[in-house]
Amino acid sequence: MSNSASEKILTLRKIIRDHDYKYYILNQPTITDYDYDRLLNELKELENKYPNLITPDSPTQRVGSDLTNEFKNIHHSIPMLSLSNAYSLEELRDFDRRVKDGLSEGSIPEYVCELKIDGVSISINYENGLLKYAATRGDGTIGEDVTQNVKTIRSLPLIVTPKEDLHDILNFEVRGEIYFEKEEFQKLNAEREANGEKLFANPRNSAAGTIKLLDPKQVSKRPLRVFLYYFFTDEYAVQSQDENLKILKKLGFRINENFRVCGTIAEVEEFCNKWEVTRENLPYEIDGVVIKVNSIQHQKNLGNIAKAPKWAVAYKFKPQQKTTLLKNITWQVGRTGAITPVAELEPVLLAGSTISRATLHNPDEIERKNLMIGDFVLIEKGGDVIPKIVSVDFSLRQDSVTKIEIPEQCPVCKGPLVKNVDEVALYCVNRDCPAQLKGKLIHFTSRTAMNIEGLGDSLIETLVDNNFLNTFTDIYDLKSKRELLINLERMGEKRVDNLLTSIENSKSTPFPKVLFALGIRYVGAGAANKLAMHFKSIDKLISASHEEIEAINEIGPRISSSVKDYFSDKENLRIIDSLKKHNINFFIDSEISISNTLEGKSFLVTGTLVKFTRDEIKDAIQKNGGKPVTSLSKKTDYLIVGDNPGSKVQKATELGIPILDEDTFVQMIEGKSNV
C-alpha cells in the first residue's frame, strides 16, 4: 500500500463530503451528477484495491444524507436506497447482463421503465387509511419528519378509502418524488427576484428548499406536486412493480403514466432514447429513466450491493445544451477577494430555466476557450446545476467580435489585483473592498454559520451601502440603531425586532460554527469542527503551531498555513476581541466534566427542544456516559421530549419507558433527579 493512495483516498473523501453538504444540506450543488459519480467511482476503485483503508465514515458506505437539526428524526422501516447510475447504452446492457447472471437459469426478467423525476424523495405512511407521517430520505436509514409540509400538497390524499378488490388495505407506506413544474418554478424565482432574494438554481433545488421550510403556511403558498411509484403493506403481497403502480392509482394516488413494461433490454433502450429527445415537452424536469426488474420475487433474489439494489439502475441523460450569444463579460468579487468572470448571455431556455449568465471560473478559462465578446457559445446545464460554457461555435464567429480585456483593477473598489503563485485566480487585496465585505457578511450570517434569520443577501447589501455594517461586530451593534433600521425601505418594527432577536440568539452559536463563520480560507464546516473540538478555544488555536494544527486528522499544510495567516493579521484579531465583548462563543466548555452519571443508559430525543439543539443534547448525553439512539425500542431507557413530540410519547408509555422533559434531564445530569 502506498502513502499516495492513502492520501488520495482522504482527499477524495473530503471533496465528496463537501459536495454532499452543498447538495443535501445547502441545496446548492456546484458540480454535475456525472462529475460527482466520477469522484465517487474513483474512491470506490481505490478502496476496492486497498480494502484495509475502508472506514465506516467513507462516503462509499452511505447513501447520502439531507439530515439537519431542524426536524425530528424518523427511522425508515425499509431503507431508502440510492441507485447505481448508467451513462451510456453500453452500461445499460451491462446492467441487463448482471441481472440475468444473478437470476436462476432460464429466468427471463421483465423491466419497468419510469421517468426519473428531478425532485425530492419522500416516504409517506398511512395508518387506518389516514396519513400518519411523512419523512425525507435522510441518510437512507433515518429521515426527517416533514409531515405538516407534505400535507400541503393538494394532490396527495390525507385519507384513503378502502377498496374491496384490494382487501381493505388501510396500513401501508408509499414513496415518490416531490417536485415543481417548470412554469411554477419560473414564477417562484420571479417572485424571489422581485423580493431581492437569492434565486433557486433549478426545480429540484426549490423543492428541496420548500419541503424543509419550518413554517407549513409558507409551504402551502408554493404549488408542490408529487408522483408516487412505490407501495408496501403487510396486508397484501404485491407481485410486480407495474402492479405497484396500478394499486397506487386505484387507491387515489397520482402516478406518472409515462411508464412502460419492457420484455427486452432493446425495448428499454428505445424507451430511454425516446424520452431523452422529447423531455423538453414535459411540464416537469426529468434527468433520466429508472429501470427496475418488474418481478418482486426477482428483486428479492437479486438483493442489494452496498447501499444500492442490484435490480434497478438510473439511466442518466446527457447534459442539455443550447447555443446562444455571448454579449459581455462582467467581473464579480467574492468574499476571499477572488475575481470571477461571468458571461452575460442572450437569454435562452435550458433545462427548465431561463439562462442569461454562466460562470467562467477564472481568466485562464477565457484564454483556453478562445472566447470573444460577440461569439456564439454552446452552454450546458449538466445535472441541472450552474450553467457553463462548453465551447465556441467558430463557424458562426464574425469580424465584429471583440477581445475580452482582463482587469488590472478591482471592478468594485478599483484596488490592485494580484495573482498568487500556483493559482489561476486574480485577487483584490483591499480589505475594505465593499464586495468582499458583503460576501463575508453573507457567509457569516448564513444558516450553516451564525444562522441569523432575516439578515439575507439583499438586506446585507442595503446595510453595507448605508454604512450600517463594516465588520462582523457591527451586526451586534444594530440594536442601538433600531429606529434608523425601522425607517429603511421594506423594514418596519416587526421585521426589525425579529432580526434583532435572531442576532441576540446567534450569540449561543456553538464554537465550531463560529469558527466556520469567520470565513478563514480553506476552512470549511468540517475542518472548523475538527479544529474547534481539538483546541477547545479560539485562544489555543491562535497560539498553536503549524505542527500542532497539522497533527489533526485530515488537516493538511494548506489549511494550517491559512489558519496561521488569518490569525497573524492584527485586524482579524481585533475583530475577534470585539466579538468576544459581545459574548460570542469562542470556546467549548471543557469544564463541564465528563461524568458517568448516565452510564449504561440510552436516550431518544423527540420534539422541538428549547434549552438544547439536537447536537448539544447529544453531546451532553455522551459527555455524561449515556448513549443517544435514533429509534425507540424496549431497550431504550429514556425518552426526552420537547414541544410537539408526536407519536413516540404514546409508544414509550405503552413500553413503560420513562419520559423526561428538558429540565428533568438537566437535573438528572446534575445528580438532582433519580428518574
* Active site members: 116
Q: What is the rounded end-to-end Cα distance, in angstroms, of the chain?
A: 53
Asked if residue 76 lies in contact with residue 174, where contact means CB atoms within 8 angstroms, the answer is no
Query: Residue 604: exposed, middle, or buried by beta-carbon count in 10 A (0-12, 13-18, 19+)?
Result: buried
Name the residue type at position 253.
F
Name the residue type at position 347.
P
Distance in angstroms (rounded) separating the CA atoms of residues 457 and 484: 19
Alpha helices in 201-240 (DSSP H): 203-211, 216-220
Question: Nearest CA to 352 among 120, 116, 119, 186?
Answer: 186
Kindly state the cell numbers that stand for 66. Answer: 439531507
Distance in angstroms (rounded) separating the CA atoms of residues 671 and 663: 12
Distance in angstroms (rounded) separating the CA atoms of residues 359 and 137: 31
Question: Nearest CA to 170 among 121, 132, 122?
Answer: 132
The CA-CA-CA angle for residues 250, 256, 262, to 5°, reads 95
Question: Nearest CA to 79 among 68, 91, 64, 94?
Answer: 64
Distance in angstroms (rounded) separating the CA atoms of residues 597 and 64: 35
Q: Which helix (H) or strand (E) holds 356?
A: strand 353-359
Asked if residue 307 lies in contact with residue 62, where contact means CB atoms within 8 angstroms, the answer is yes
DSSP string, 373-403: ET-EEEEE-GGGSS-EEEEE-GGG--TT-EE
Distance in angstroms (rounded) separating the CA atoms of residues 58 and 43: 9
Distance in angstroms (rounded) separating the CA atoms of residues 323 and 346: 10
Say which DSSP state 69 is in. S
Name the residue type at position 235.
E
Question: Nearest CA to 382 among 86, 33, 116, 120?
Answer: 33
Residue with cell 495567516: 565
Say which DSSP state 170 is in. -
Tell me the β-bridge partners of 199: none
Beta strands in 494-566 (DSSP E): none
* Dihedral sign (CA 403, 404, 406, 412): positive
